Each structure stands twice: as C-alpha cells, then as structure tokens.
Structure 1
C-alpha cells in the first residue's frame, strides 16, 4: 500500500513504499505573489517602507512567530493543531529568566531548562493525543490555559529584568551594507533551513507527511504513526522554547504577558503559507513566507497610520481567504 501526498506532481520513493512530493514548490507561489503585491502596494503608500532598516525591523518582529510557526507547521502537517504554542513560549521565557536571575543558575543552563519545560509540555500534548486519543484542539486548549496560569503564578505576574548578557545576545545586531540585522533573525532562517532539509530529505520528514495524509495507510506499511506524532509534538515544544529565547533576547526581559496572540499569528502564518489544515500537504518555507506576509501587512498599515484594530481585521480576512482556498482546492482535487 502506498500513501501519497495530494497534489504532488512528482514524487520520490521512501521507506516502506511511501512517497513524498519533490515538486511542491508551487504551493509557495501564491504566498510569494501575495508578499510581492503587498510590498509593491505599501511602497506606494510610504517612502519609508522600501528601506533596509524597515525590512530588518520586519524580520526582527516576525522572528519569534516565525520559529513558533515551524513547530505549528509540523503539528498541522500531521492533521493536528496546537493552540498552546504562544503560552508555552511565554512560560519558557519566564522559566529561563527566573532561573538565571532568582536562582542564580548559569545562563546557558537556565536557557536549557526553559527549553526543557516547553518540550515537556509538548510531550504531554503528544501523549494525550496518541495514548488517550484526545483531539489535539482540546488537548492544546487545556495546556494553553495551564501554561498561562503557570506563567502568571511563577512570575507573580511581574516582568523579569536585569538579565545576563548571554540571554540577550541574539538581540544584538550586525551590519550588512549599512543595515543592522539581529542575530535572532539569522537563527530563525537557519532553523527554517534545517526544518526544510529534515522534511524533504529524511525518512522522518516523509513520515510526517504520510501520517497527515493517510495515517491508516501509513500504519499498514509498518510506520509507527503514534511515535511519529509523539516526536512531532515534542519537537514542536522544543521549538517554542527556542522562540522563548528569541523573545527574551529581543525585549531584554522575561514578560509573563508575552505570546497571548502568537498562537493565532503562527496558525495564520502556516495557513497563509499553503499548509493544509487537513494535514499531509504543505512546505515549511511557505510558513516563513506566510509570517512575512503578516509582518509586511502590519508594518505597512502602521506606516500608513492605520489603527491596530484594522491590522487585526486584515489578518483575520487573510486567514479566512487562505483556508477557503485550501478547501476549494481539496474539492477540486476529488
């Protein structure tokens, strides 16, 4: 039996007879066109938009959501969804900053502890989904609230300040052509490169697609689907921990109120990037493009002096249009 990812124009063989698309770059075409059109429009509205400093700012602003979107993409590719990602990011930030400042732990170990906590939550999500067979929506809705409460209780609802330089190092900048870029941006781009390689070139990555496309067929060809799902949720949790460090580096504090809308922003980026909410179809680079689309719209509307409430409105319209397009494409493929 063969599990095939929908809409693939070309495939290559995989372990166990599974196949994975080699020609899904077309899935990114729509988001890229949207990104280019948005840039052209805002360039006509503000003379400050097409500047190196402004594009650097957009990348810095979207670095946290961009990394969260990698984990969210993995979960959605398997047919699930993770509502807890933003709150886990906030909890990881509080844990690592409090461990470093209050407990006096070496900064590197404190950072690792923060990532370990978010990974542990990912493990809990994965176990509840795979062992008890609870819907991912319900599981992550519950852990989202648990993480929020834990963040507020452990921080005392107070911002953590006076952080060691190691924790804010990724917020430092370097110059390229006279434009300052943050090291956190480089980390985000490197992680997208790694995720692209794993999903495209390894058996583990192809199994993720297969589980999302047809879990029963995947199981019948000998792939441990439950183990794949569990690993996906743990890896996603670890990525939220990395996003915690990027958030702390950018703001210079541990903020207990961070991440409250990042779950929706990450889901929006993934959907705008062409990943199907029904699982099994999408490319990781699309999520990066989707995050940039959201960032460009918000930045452009801000430069135009448009109220932030309309920025939220535009984001909502974009995600509805993206999901509608995905649904229509699925119907057309039947």
Structure 2
C-alpha cells in the first residue's frame, strides 16, 4: 500500500526562500510557514525583525490550506457564513485552524495532489501597500498585487490572484490613480537573493548542523531555533519524521531560551516549583532533554531544540551542533 507523503523538506525550504527573497524586495518582515497535508509543520522561517506571533498565524493559515486543500480565504468565507456552532465546532476539533485568515495556498505535487500549504504573516506582512515601496514592485501584469499574496504566489510560481479582497481600492489609497504598464510590472519577476537576514541565516545554519548530525546517526528529527522570548526563528522537520517532534523541538528550545540552561536541567534548578513554571507564561514548556540555550557575547539570545527521537539523543544532537559552531 502506498501512503501519502508531505511536501519534502528540500522543496518546502526552497519555497520559503523564494518568499523570503520577495519579502525583502518588498520591504516587509514576518514569517513564512509550510505545513504538510498531514497537518505537521515541515519548515518555517522568520525574517529579521519579523516580530513574535507571525509564525503562529502563518502556520495556522498554512495548516488550513494544506489539510482542507483549499485557499484559506475560501475557508474563511465558509467559516463566516456557517452558523456559529458549526464554525466554533470546527476550531474545537481542529485547534490548529485558530487563525483562519486569508492568504494560505495549497501546495501541489507533480500529479496535482495537495501535499502541503504555505502562508505568511507577521509584523509588516499584510495586504496593504507599505510606505516607500515602488509601485512597479507591487504590480503584476499591470494590475495591483498586494504584498502578502504576492510573495506567496511568487514562491509557488503561480499566477498572482489576490486573496484579501479589493486590491484596487488599497492601491488607490496608496498610489491614487497611478497605473503601471504590464511590461513594467515587477511583482512576479525574479527577486534578488535576500542579503539582510543575518539572524535567519544564523538560525538556519544551526538547524542545518542538527539535520546533518541526525542524518549521520540514521534518525529523523525536528529542530527549532527560537529567540530569547521563545518565538520561533527557524523550524524544520526531516522527511517522514514524526509529527510530534515539531512541538517537542519548539518546547525544549523555548524552555532553554527562557531559563538560560539546558531544558533537562530545569527540574533540578527549580525543584518542587517545576510544575508551576509552565503556567507562568504562554510559551511552550517542556523540561526534558533536547533543548540548549544559545549564547552570544555572554548573553542568552535564544534556544535550540530537537525532538522526534529519544530525548537523550535529541539533547546530544543539540549539544553537538553547538560544538561544531
């Protein structure tokens, strides 16, 4: 029997990178997430200064488009036109869809089968045209193209279709009656490779070291790098790694970042109070092996977490990745 596969990590990473390139060209900052059709995250990246919260919103929209196999804007229309008990019940049984915003698009394989979903959200990712952006950059084939939907269409290499309503009205608010000829529209033209994402590049390098070490040891894991506040900067799940490793990686990384020690050391440090720590803040908390703090210039700047295999091994992979830095 042939079982379905999620979009491969290599392809998902390439899609996200294209979105990062376009986002930098547009001058917007946020997060881009790819979720497999299984509902498990495959990869996600936060641009520098993207701010907390965007990763969660992008992941929710990507989950909707990847699992419901429709653009999240269509899902939003359905949820707002159904009786409240039905829409609330959907979120009750599918809490991953807690943010049913527009902008998520399904990812198809060569046979046209949905293998995932991709979406963006964050600090300045929106359907509005940012101050200072050149009108040519936010125009596709001579028509307005809002930045959020543009970077997703560009990432997928599909024709631009607005997902957030009336692009023309927002265009006129920003540019007035200005028009851009189709041959001068740059929205779907190649974007320069991003060069101003130092923190993201740092987080990806750490994740890549973990993935390489896991491959050498013959295990499939998920890895996450979070900032000092526990918001994810980079997340990756190896092909066919268990879905639960995604949450374990983020939770152990968050624990290490917030308490400045390896996640498995927290119980000893806080003794009988360990159980209360998880209730102090909404960040995920998991005081088991797998997470290590990331320290630069003598201060904690984030956390690295690994999940999806034996916790002791995950902790070894995280520690080894930092040794190789």
Q: TM-score interval w.r.t. the shorter chain?
A: under 0.3
Relative to total residues, which structure has the larger strand share, 1 or 2? 2
Q: Provide the TM-score with structure 1 as the length reference.
A: 0.24
Relative to total residues, which structure has the larger helix share, 1 or 2? 1
Q: Which has the higher contact order (CA 8 A, sep 6+)?
A: 1
